[in-house]
Amino acid sequence: MDAKKLMSVLEQVAAGRLKPETALRRLKRLPFEDVGFARIDHHRALRAGRPEVIYCPGKTVSQITAIAAKLVRAGSDVLATRADERVFKAFKRRWRRAKIYGEARIAAVLTPKRPRPVGNILVACAGTSDIPVAEEARVVADVQGNRVTTVYDAGVAGIHRLLANVREIQEANVIVVVAGMEGALASVVGGMASCPVIAVPTSVGYGASFGGLAPLLTMLNSCAPSVSVVNIDNGFGAGYIASMVNHLAAANRGRDTT
């Protein structure tokens, strides 16, 4: 339950349109709901601005759908990350409005009233093989009410492909850069952009990339001071942080700071 819904419940009680006992039943799940195999954090949207997200690996399909059902019932958006075809089918069977983002490996059930997209997030990736991680970041940012543009397959092996998008780089509030191999793209973008750059190393590459460790170290050692780094293949984390930065930038842009 987010702040608006909680305020609505309190206002209905105050106006006499909702019995206190009914309000108590709605609120008693706070701060979490224990279903045995999981403690579902319904309070997270109120506390952190976004509801809990389901990480699928290690969970059974029945556990995933049971958690999702509790979140849907509470009026929250539901994102199931690193989902596979079994989860996609289960979501489509259970919820008519379920959205499947196959390349991003995300299944979602979203509330009908969507926020109007704000700001400007750019998601860029080095190669086509990096697109699944980039798409995870894009989808996570998109469903949180951000305007997202993409520049894919623009790695440093053909730097002219990136230079064709200088305008997009310079107009963004925050940029997510996804790259494997040696991970140099984040430093290049960091040297061109006036906004924060969130670098995502991927496990794409030959043996000496060590499953993403080589690009991780490259990004951590970037000489561009605007570059920060999330974990290997963590498109979700990059998209989430980018959303927070973008919303702050969009909000501050409308304020008089003089």
Domain that holds residue 92: 28-109
pLDDT digits (tens, 9 = 90+) for 53-102: 899 999 999 999 999 998 888 778 899 999 999 999 999 999 999 999 99
Residue that finishes a domain, picked among 57, 89, 109: 109
> Is residue 32 within 8 Å of residue 42, measured between CB atoms?
yes
Find all residues with CB under 8 Å of 224, minimum gap 6, and list them: 186, 187, 189, 190, 191, 197
Measuring CA to CA, how many Å separate 229 from each of 13, 134, 234, 248?
46, 14, 10, 19
Same domain, 128 and 216: yes
| 3 state SS for 37-52 | CCEECCCHHHHHCCCC
Domain membership of residue 11 (yes or no) is no
The answer to whether residue 11 scores a pLDDT higher than 60 is: yes
Separation between Cα atoms, residue 94 and residue 91, nearest integer Å? 5
Query: Residue range 134-152: average pLDDT?
Result: 95
Domain membership of residue 21 (yes or no) is no
Q: How many domains does the chain have?
A: 2
pLDDT digits (tens, 9 = 90+) for 152-166: 999 888 888 888 889
> What pLDDT, on a 0 to 100 scale, did the predictor assign at position 18?
82
Same domain, 196 and 140: yes
Confidence band for 3, pLDDT divided at 50, 70 and 90: low
Length of the chain counted residue by residue:
258
Q: In the predicted model, what is the mean pLDDT of the chain?
A: 88
- Cα–Cα–Cα angle for 193, 154, 83, rounded to 5 degrees: 100
DSSP 156: G
Count CB atoms within 10 A of the CB of residue 219: 27
Same domain, 104 and 122: no
Domain membership of residue 85 (yes or no) is yes
Domain membership of residue 243 (yes or no) is yes
Residue that finishes a domain, picked among 54, 76, 109: 109
Same domain, 186 and 130: yes
Domain membership of residue 203 (yes or no) is yes
Same domain, 171 and 74: no
Confidence band for 258, pLDDT divided at 50, 70 and 90: very low
* Closest to 226 in 3D by CA, of 183, 198, 196: 196
> What pLDDT, on a 0 to 100 scale, did the predictor assign at position 93?
94
Same domain, 65 and 143: no
Same domain, 94 and 141: no
Query: Residue range 113-125: average pLDDT?
Result: 90
The answer to whether residue 33 scores a pLDDT higher than 70 is: no
Same domain, 228 and 163: yes
Count CB atoms within 10 A of the CB of residue 30: 15
Q: Percent of the chain at pLDDT above 70?
A: 88
Same domain, 49 and 128: no
Domain membership of residue 9 (yes or no) is no
Separation between Cα atoms, residue 221 and residue 105, nearest integer Å? 30
The answer to whether residue 45 scores a pLDDT higher than 80 is: no
Same domain, 139 and 73: no
Separation between Cα atoms, residue 133 and residue 103, nearest integer Å? 9
Same domain, 103 and 147: no
pLDDT digits (tens, 9 = 90+) for 200-225: 999 998 988 899 999 999 999 999 99
Domain membership of residue 136 (yes or no) is yes
Same domain, 122 and 93: no
Residue that finishes a domain, picked among 90, 109, 128: 109
The CATH number of residue 157's host domain is 3.40.50.1970
> What pLDDT, on a 0 to 100 scale, did the predictor assign at position 47?
67
- Looking at per-residue pLDDT, the higher value among 138 and 42 belongs to 138
